[in-house]
Amino acid sequence: MSLLRRASRKRPVAERVVTLIGRSGCHLCDDARQVVSEVCDELGARWEERDIDQDAELRRRYWEQIPVVLVDGEQHDFWRVDERRLRRALGA
């Protein structure tokens, strides 16, 4: 595990940021949003959503993987979000 990743895991959950990258009309994105929202709201982590249709670079990079979840800027999951795995990544 990299030093950056280890340092990131030690940060309090309230300082962690989860980013959901997806698009409107994507049923997998809707499912991922539900999981991310519930886990982050429960644990007190901040989360944000980015739309690949509004950002050409995100579209180029992640089009075939949406939804994509980043934790503190590092790719964590794509297509399906596992609730237990997200909790572990956030240190819970």
Express each pLDDT in 1-57 by its tens digit.
444 454 455 789 989 999 999 999 999 999 999 999 999 999 999 999 999 999 999
Q: Are 26 and 63 in contact (CB under 8 A)?
A: no
Q: Round to whole Å and give the CA distance between 32 and 26.
A: 10
In percent, the amount of the chain with pLDDT more than 90 equals: 83
Q: Round to whole Å and give the CA distance between 40 and 92.
A: 11
Please identify which residue in the block is written with the tokens 């992640």: 62
What are 21's strand-pairing partners? 50, 68
Q: What are phi and psi of 64, to 5 degrees?
A: -85, 0
**pLDDT value of residue 8:** 53
